[in-house]
Chains A and B, each alone.
Chain A
Amino acid sequence: MAEGAYSEFLDPEVLNRLMRQFLHARVPMVGSISGQHKSPYRGSSVEFAEYRKYTPGDDTRRLDWRVLARTDRFYIREFEADTNLRCYIVVDCSGSMAFGPEGRRKFDYARKLAATLAYMIVHQGDAVGLQCYSDKVLRDIPPRRNPLHLKYVFDTLADAKPNAGTNLVKLLHEFSEKVRQRALVIIISDCFCDVDELLHCFQHLHFCKHDFALFHLLDPQELDFRFDRPIRFMDLEGEESLLAEPAVIRTQYLEQVREYLTKLHEGCNRFNADYRKVQTDQPYDKVLADFLVEREMFVK
């Protein structure tokens, strides 16, 4: 499926390699069906959880008869519940994501991450949804477990084009309000917005008990700011242009970037977000592999 139509952002070799791993949620999920993820509720899995005093109305089949016979007291045996995962992949389609050399734009990178993750999630039996946004929500695909749903996701990614401004803050707030049930939220964005407001969104997500991860995409040029001549910088998200001598302002620029990144990183830690700083010259499969491994280690 992926080899022909979506080769732009899906690599079968990468998928094969990554499929050996499992994407874990870091917090218990509330699913509608049985799955492989922890649930906050007791269920019928084979894994014993605890004893609880019998209260009228409990299923008598779950009484521990041995304890009753021995102590003449009524205790219920409880087992862990396993449930499925609902994952929302939020992809930034703002103009700034178009920055980068042709074929290696931040948006291209985001599509690869999103498509690969979607494929993996569906194939591990979980539901995946996709939300593309710029200054507004462009496409909102609710999570589904059906493998056929993937085509819809991939088509959406293939059709998406980076354009217009960023309104991530507002959209994340809306998203937090809209998605009541716990979910894994994977945000893929360059996050070029006010960091304090962004962290407020993360707080909101955290409050709603979502497990969320942020793939913060940055181009090496945006981080190094190495230019040898004066440049007229044209805003990808608007009409603004700015004349600057990179040699003159480089110090201040780097200082701003450093300050911003530090603040963002610290904020993510504070709200238990899985923060991933990604440079677009890094291999995306390695980024994903690290992401999966670290999640697995976290869960264990």
Chain B
Amino acid sequence: MTFLSPLLLWGLPLILLPVLIHLFNRLRYRPMNWGAMMFLRMATRKSTRYAKLRQYLILLFRCLAVAALLMAIARPLVGGWAGWMVSSRPDVILILLDRSASMEDKNGGTLVTKRETALKTLANTAKAYSESSRVLLLDHTGKHPKEIANLNDISTVPTTAATDTAADVPAMLQAAIDWIIEAKPGNTEIWLASDLQQSNWHPEAQARWGAMREGMLNLPQNIRVRLLAMNEPTESNVSVTIEEINRQQRGNSAELELVLKLERKETVVQDAFPIDFYFNDVPTGERVTVKFEGQTMRYRRRMTLPAADSGGWGHVQLPDDSNARDNRAYFVYGQQELTSVAVVGSDPIARRVLQIAASPDPASTNVVAEVILNDKLGDANWSKYAAVLWQSKPPEGDMAAKLQVYVNSGGILIFFPSGETGSFEGLGWGEVQTAAVNESFKVSRWETGEGPLANTAEGTQLPMEDLEIIKRQVISSESTVLARYSDNTPLVVRQIMGRGQALMCGTLPLEEWSSLTEGFVLVPMIQRLVSAGASRLTAARQLVCGEATTGDRGQRWIPIGNNSGTEFGSQSGIYRSDDRVVAQNRPVHEDDWVSMEPTKARELFGKVPVQLFEEKESGAPKLQSEIWRILLAFMALFLIVESILILPKQSEESSTLAAPSERLAT
């Protein structure tokens, strides 16, 4: 237990004040000559035992009341409720620090971030235990805790620095459990500091939390968790992420198209704010002011590249707000490259239509569509294609396995009907159906929010209702239906596989099948899918903090530019390793500011003893809570008990009313 005003503890001898007053009072007994000593002696003999006990109890409660008052004004800090107060000091304190990008939010308009506040609080609290307990630190980017030698310098420890990663709290706790199992320390307290960001806590991952709970409860040591919830809401923040990077050649010049996703959480609505673009740390000279509408918006920006024939890097910068960490997004672009699409088809006309839809203008779109004949399928290098359009019998055996690998690695595979039945990873072809004469299958519903059939950026719908579908092949799948006919039969379905997706379109761009040949639906659909597939190819240059592969981690990375971080893997920036230049940004879901309710977070621990400390609206949160209010309540309680004890008994009152002098006077 520590005290905010320890000097006041010098007043503790005042606890004896009631005893001294009592003794002093005894000296001040008024002498009186008395005749009826016989009654007095008998009365005293009868009441002495109870009277003495009552006297001592009164004295005790008076002393306790004074002690409670003294303790209260000394403002003690304790680690929670009675159980925590009386518990022995832990052998090990394991600090788990969430230093994700969202923890860089500044508290209440101050210049101190949540991470810094949490660190300071943790260090100050741990100091009280430094003589009896080992203090170790495990941050979410590491697997093994490191001992903190000097708690005063905790903020200088590299593993406490800010990162642009996303935390994985269940994984962090699991790492702590693994370490406890391995190191076999004594009683351990886990002090977890986090902003309770839902995307970091993964409350939906019940299996992982269940394993964590079980692991913690099965440990032979007594494990307790103190959760420091840095849950003060973000005041005003705008974040930027780069969704798409497209390089296009325009004659002798080259353009770079960036699609930015802007999200804001503001209490004061700001209508417009500037965005600065930098190439190689040099500002483009053109400040763009964006009018913000809603909470999220996408902004597309084309910029002429400084050098038309080479690659480069840059970043997008927003003005300063409560979290400086999410105001910048880095990008890297390479030299001009063609995007390839593979078209596999059994019907030559359909194959040709699909080829044109994938690459209507190879000169200006940088997309080429290659037809791969059936006999060449085995030799094809699928990984180079942004998308594969498959109008043939569903692949089987070795071919199916290759395409599965392709899709899982981020490729897009779109199946069109071939008339033959078969299936691929849960997507199956059924019978071919033909509409009645002079009638057609009508599309009634489709996904307009996202995907290949989504509305345009201007909000215009694709003319799906105008499609005349005469012939269709039934799709049997339980995957996501992106479009369906009026009879509820699916037209387009999508199956997410790994990082890619496989789709099925239930009709063909042929005159006898449908009006897809008109291209109003087919072309944007194919183009969107190709674009999504192409991002996989450029993604090699866009890395996400905390998600670097083992191979990447093994390389030596040197930060480029003035604004890049210094720690590859956890800090955003531009990094170079030999000839490879990558942009590393924070994870997209780190901009999802949805926080969990502290009680909800606590529930995730189940029966594991957890003490929750919430961040106050102003001021620092405290792992050790002040208990002066409780002490004052105790003091009041002691005084109430004392006053009850000194009250005359009921019988005494009644006897007063009928004192012998009144009754016996005759």
With A254-B655, A282-B665 given, is the CB distance from A232 to B35 under 8 Å? no
**Bound-state Cα–Cα, A199 to B54, Å:** 38
The answer to whether A261 and B44 touch across the interface, beta carbons within 8 angstroms, is no
Residues of chain B from 4 to 36 with CB closer than 8 A to chain A in the complex: 25-26, 28-36
The answer to whether A257 and B660 touch across the interface, beta carbons within 8 angstroms, is yes
The answer to whether B35 and A231 touch across the interface, beta carbons within 8 angstroms, is no
The answer to whether A251 and B652 touch across the interface, beta carbons within 8 angstroms, is yes
With A96-B35, A98-B33, A232-B30 given, is the CB distance from A248 to B40 under 8 Å? no
Contacts of A279 in B (CB 8 A): 661, 664-665
**Bound-state Cα–Cα, A261 to B660, Å:** 9
- Within the complex, the shortest CB–CB distance from A256 to chain B, in Å, comes to 4
With A220-B661, A254-B655 given, is the CB distance from A249 to B31 under 8 Å? no
Decide yes or no whether A236 CB sits under 8 A from chain B. Answer: yes
**Which residue of B32, B47, B659 contacts A232 across the interface (Cβ within 8 Å)?**
B32
**Bound-state Cα–Cα, A257 to B37, Å:** 11
The answer to whether A254 and B659 touch across the interface, beta carbons within 8 angstroms, is yes
- Within the complex, the shortest CB–CB distance from A94 to chain B, in Å, comes to 8
The answer to whether B37 and A235 touch across the interface, beta carbons within 8 angstroms, is yes
In the complex, the chain B residue whose C-beta lies closest to that of A100 is B35
Residues of chain A from 215 to 256 with CB closer than 8 A to chain B in the complex: 218-220, 222-225, 229-238, 240-245, 247-256
Decide yes or no whether B38 CB sits under 8 A from chain A. Answer: yes
Decide yes or no whether A192 CB sits under 8 A from chain B. Answer: yes
Contacts of A256 in B (CB 8 A): 39, 42-43, 46
- Most chain A CB within a 10 A radius of its CB, from B26, B656, B659: B659
- Within the complex, the shortest CB–CB distance from B44 to chain A, in Å, comes to 6
Contacts of A254 in B (CB 8 A): 655, 659-660
Decide yes or no whether A260 CB sits under 8 A from chain B. Answer: yes
Decide yes or no whether A31 CB sits under 8 A from chain B. Answer: no
Contacts of A253 in B (CB 8 A): 39-40, 43
In the complex, the chain B residue whose C-beta lies closest to that of A265 is B664
**Bound-state Cα–Cα, A232 to B34, Å:** 9
In the complex, the chain A residue whose C-beta lies closest to that of B661 is A223
The answer to whether B651 and A98 touch across the interface, beta carbons within 8 angstroms, is no
Decide yes or no whether B51 CB sits under 8 A from chain A. Answer: yes
The answer to whether B32 and A95 touch across the interface, beta carbons within 8 angstroms, is no
Contacts of A193 in B (CB 8 A): 38
The answer to whether A242 and B41 touch across the interface, beta carbons within 8 angstroms, is yes
Contacts of B619 in A (CB 8 A): none
The answer to whether B659 and A223 touch across the interface, beta carbons within 8 angstroms, is yes
Contacts of A190 in B (CB 8 A): 35-36
Residues of chain A from 247 to 292 with CB closer than 8 A to chain B in the complex: 247-258, 260-261, 276-277, 279, 282
Contacts of A38 in B (CB 8 A): none
**Which residue of A98, A231, A242, A248 contacts B30 across the interface (Cβ within 8 Å)?**
A231
Contacts of B38 in A (CB 8 A): 192-193
With A230-B25, A243-B29 given, is the CB distance from A236 to B35 under 8 Å? yes
With A277-B666, A279-B661 given, is the CB distance from A237 to B35 under 8 Å? yes
Contacts of B32 in A (CB 8 A): 231-234
**Bound-state Cα–Cα, A230 to B31, Å:** 9
- Within the complex, the shortest CB–CB distance from A261 to chain B, in Å, comes to 6
The answer to whether A252 and B46 touch across the interface, beta carbons within 8 angstroms, is yes
The answer to whether B31 and A192 touch across the interface, beta carbons within 8 angstroms, is no
**Bound-state Cα–Cα, A224 to B655, Å:** 10
In the complex, the chain B residue whose C-beta lies closest to that of A245 is B51
With A220-B661, A230-B30, A243-B29 given, is the CB distance from A251 to B35 under 8 Å? no
Contacts of B660 in A (CB 8 A): 223-224, 254, 257-258, 261
In the complex, the chain A residue whose C-beta lies closest to that of B655 is A254
**Which residue of A95, A97, A229, A249 contacts B43 across the interface (Cβ within 8 Å)?**
A249
**Bound-state Cα–Cα, A258 to B43, Å:** 12
Decide yes or no whether A99 CB sits under 8 A from chain B. Answer: yes
The answer to whether A247 and B43 touch across the interface, beta carbons within 8 angstroms, is no
**Bound-state Cα–Cα, A237 to B271, Å:** 101
Decide yes or no whether B648 CB sits under 8 A from chain A. Answer: yes
Contacts of B665 in A (CB 8 A): 277, 279, 282
- Interface bits A180-198 vs B (CB < 8 Å: 1, else 0): 0000000000101100000
Give chain B's interface secondary structure class.
helix
The answer to whether A96 and B651 touch across the interface, beta carbons within 8 angstroms, is no
- Within the complex, the shortest CB–CB distance from B289 to chain A, in Å, comes to 84
Contacts of B34 in A (CB 8 A): 99, 233-236
**Which residue of B39, B44, B666 contacts A257 across the interface (Cβ within 8 Å)?**
B39
With A220-B661, A229-B30, A230-B29 given, is the CB distance from A252 to B47 under 8 Å? yes
Decide yes or no whether A24 CB sits under 8 A from chain B. Answer: no
- Interface bits B644-666 vs A (CB < 8 Å: 1, else 0): 00001101100110011100111
**Which residue of B42, B648, B659, B664 contacts A247 across the interface (Cβ within 8 Å)?**
B648
The answer to whether A224 and B35 touch across the interface, beta carbons within 8 angstroms, is no
The answer to whether B37 and A242 touch across the interface, beta carbons within 8 angstroms, is yes
**Bound-state Cα–Cα, A222 to B664, Å:** 12
With A242-B41, A256-B39, A257-B39 given, is the CB distance from A234 to B47 under 8 Å? no
Decide yes or no whether A106 CB sits under 8 A from chain B. Answer: yes
**Which residue of A231, A237, A277 contacts B29 across the interface (Cβ within 8 Å)?**
A231
The answer to whether B47 and A249 touch across the interface, beta carbons within 8 angstroms, is yes
**Which residue of A224, A244, A277 contacts B659 across the interface (Cβ within 8 Å)?**
A224
**Bound-state Cα–Cα, A234 to B36, Å:** 10
The answer to whether B35 and A222 touch across the interface, beta carbons within 8 angstroms, is yes
**Bound-state Cα–Cα, A253 to B42, Å:** 7
The answer to whether B33 and A244 touch across the interface, beta carbons within 8 angstroms, is no
**Bound-state Cα–Cα, A252 to B655, Å:** 10
- Within the complex, the shortest CB–CB distance from A56 to chain B, in Å, comes to 55
Contacts of A99 in B (CB 8 A): 33-36
The answer to whether A232 and B29 touch across the interface, beta carbons within 8 angstroms, is yes
Contacts of A247 in B (CB 8 A): 648
Contacts of B40 in A (CB 8 A): 233, 242, 244, 249, 253
- Most chain A CB within a 10 A radius of its CB, from B54, B649, B665: B665
**Bound-state Cα–Cα, A241 to B31, Å:** 9
**Bound-state Cα–Cα, A275 to B346, Å:** 137
The answer to whether A250 and B652 touch across the interface, beta carbons within 8 angstroms, is yes
- Interface bits B40-63 vs A (CB < 8 Å: 1, else 0): 111110110001001100000000
- Most chain B CB within a 10 A radius of its CB, from A222, A229, A240, A276: A222
- Within the complex, the shortest CB–CB distance from B174 to chain A, in Å, comes to 65
The answer to whether B51 and A236 touch across the interface, beta carbons within 8 angstroms, is no
**Bound-state Cα–Cα, A95 to B35, Å:** 7
The answer to whether B37 and A240 touch across the interface, beta carbons within 8 angstroms, is yes
A to B CB contacts below 8 Å, 15 in the list: A98-B33, A99-B34, A99-B36, A232-B30, A234-B32, A235-B34, A236-B35, A237-B37, A242-B41, A247-B648, A249-B40, A250-B43, A253-B43, A256-B39, A257-B39
List 11 extra interface pairs beyond A248-B47, A277-B664, CB under 8 A. Answer: A192-B36, A231-B32, A233-B37, A234-B32, A235-B37, A240-B37, A248-B54, A250-B652, A251-B652, A254-B660, A260-B39
Query: What 7 A-B pairs come out closest when comparing CB atoms?
Result: A96-B35, A223-B661, A252-B43, A99-B35, A253-B43, A233-B34, A232-B29
